[in-house]
Amino acid sequence: MAQLNAAPRLREQLLQPEKNSTDARLKQLIRSRPSNIDFEKIQAVSRIPAQECTCCQAGKGPWNICVIFQPDPKASPATKCAK
């Protein structure tokens, strides 16, 4: 978690257009579980992979882009998206 909080912000978190960010229910859902809050942060600080994961290709999840959090650039990248 410390690495996540220390990571520089790379972008704004963007929700899928059909899941409008002004929707209070969606915001409540995202913030209802600690892991969802982490995913919200990960969206702002993570790299965009060369190819979207299958979940993102199917349009699942609330986020507009597929991202992978890799705290140490020298380490093997994570293979799971934060969507």
pLDDT of 37 higher than 80: no
C-alpha 21/C-alpha 47 separation (Å) is 22
Mean pLDDT of 35-43: 79
Q: Helices in 1-83 by DSSP H: which ranges?
A: 2-6, 24-31, 34-45, 54-57
pLDDT of 30 higher than 80: no
pLDDT of the residue at 31: 72
Higher pLDDT, 1 or 59: 59
Helix (H, G, I), strand (E, B) or coil at 76: coil
pLDDT of the residue at 9: 86
pTM of the complete model beyond 0.75: no
pLDDT of the residue at 68: 84
Token pair listed for 28 = 């409540």
- The domain limits of the chain are 15-83
